Every structure is written in C-alpha cells, then in structure tokens.
Amino acid sequence: MHESWLAVLGDELEQPYMAELRSFLVSEVAAGRRFYPPADRVFNAFALTPFDEVRVVVIGQDPYHGPGQAMGLCFSVPPGVPAPPSLQNIHTELERDLGLARPSSGDLTPWAERGVLLLNAVLTVSPGRAASHAGKGWEHFTDRAIRELSEQRDGIVFLLWGRYAQQKGAVVDATRHHVLTSAHPSPLSASNGFFGCRHFSTANELLAADGREPVDWALP
C-alpha cells in the first residue's frame, strides 16, 4: 500500500474487524485453502494509485475467482490471461467511445498508474467461489477508502457500473465530485446501458472542465 493511503487508512487497518479478517485468511492458508489474488497483490490498487493522484474511481464487486486472473485491480487480469467477458465489453466500449485500438492485454495497470483507482469492494475471494469473502470485513475497509476520497478530495470522477457499484458509491458527495452511472459491463447487462455510455470520454471532459489533466485511456 502506498504511504499516502497508509496516512489515510492506517488506523482502519488496526480495527478489530481487520484483525479478524487477517486471522481468517491465515487460517485458510493453514488449512491448505488458497485465496485470490496472491497476498502480495491484495492491496495492489492502493499501491499503484496514490491517494493524492486519484482522478477517476472504478468500483467493482470482488476479485475474479479463476486461476491466475485476480491481480488486485478490479476488472483487470495479468498479461497473457484471456480477458473475461466483462473486461472484453469494457474494451469494446473503450474502442467505440475513443476510437482506440483494441488492447492486446487485459492488464489495466497503466490506468492505475495514471490515476484511475480500480477498487473492488471485497479484496479477496476463494477459488471458484464468487463473493465467498463477502461479509468478512473488506466492505468496511473499502467504504472508508471511498469516504476519505469523497471528503478530502475534490473533482474525482466516479464510474459506477451496475447496481452494486452504485450502492457502494452512494456515500460520494456529488456536489464535490462527478458521478457517472451505467449498467454493468457484464454480458447480461452491457446492452442495457453500458454500451454507449461514453464514460471514458465524458470523464476526460469533466476533468478538463475542472482544469485537470485528462486520463490517457490507451492500453497496449
């Protein structure tokens, strides 16, 4: 985790529920059960996007639960791993909205390094079991992160894709920040409002109107 986030969330890491969460993860490993992403990438979003450099926030639900997919950034997969359907649809909208070449990789690390916080509400998951670590405490931690951004920063663009993200982002002060909503990029809902939402270009227009540098959304 970047030191800027530790300054903001350090006390949250010491809360009893976080100690219980750590104990749960240690017990899973001790029992021979894995969790995703790897331990050194659980806080990857907070490591790659410093608190003071966040320009855009994307909120996801929990990590991918397939082998080798989760990397601590919502919707992102490591290089060489096929893009899951939701990420493929994100690529499609990116191409349609900005006319950018379709990425060859599903790795969204460049976005994270350019000020896009790719935050899952829950930061770990059991293999093959979606939402298996929901209700363990991560939601409190990520709620605090969103609340601190809302209260301490101004002019951030929040991209809330789907009902879950919109509920999670309800704490954002829309008088201080820009909140864009759409359907989730999942194949089950992308055609109901995600395709055509133009959130990438709109985010840049909003940032520019505030005198801030737009995001370079291009991916290799």
Contact of 94 with 199, CB cutoff 8 Å: no
Tell me how crowded residue 81 is: count the other CB atoms within 10 A of its CB: 19
Catalytic residue flag (residue 173): no
What span, in angstroms and rounded, lies between the C-alpha atoms of 15 and 7? 15
For residue 57, the surrounding DSSP H or E stretch is: strand 56-60
Q: For residue 164, which of 151, 187, 150, 183 has the smallest C-alpha distance? A: 183
| Annotated catalytic residue, options 62, 143, 173, 210 | 62
Cα–Cα dist 196/128, whole Å: 31
Output the CA angle 97-165-101, nearest 5 degrees: 20
Q: Which residues are catalytic?
A: 62
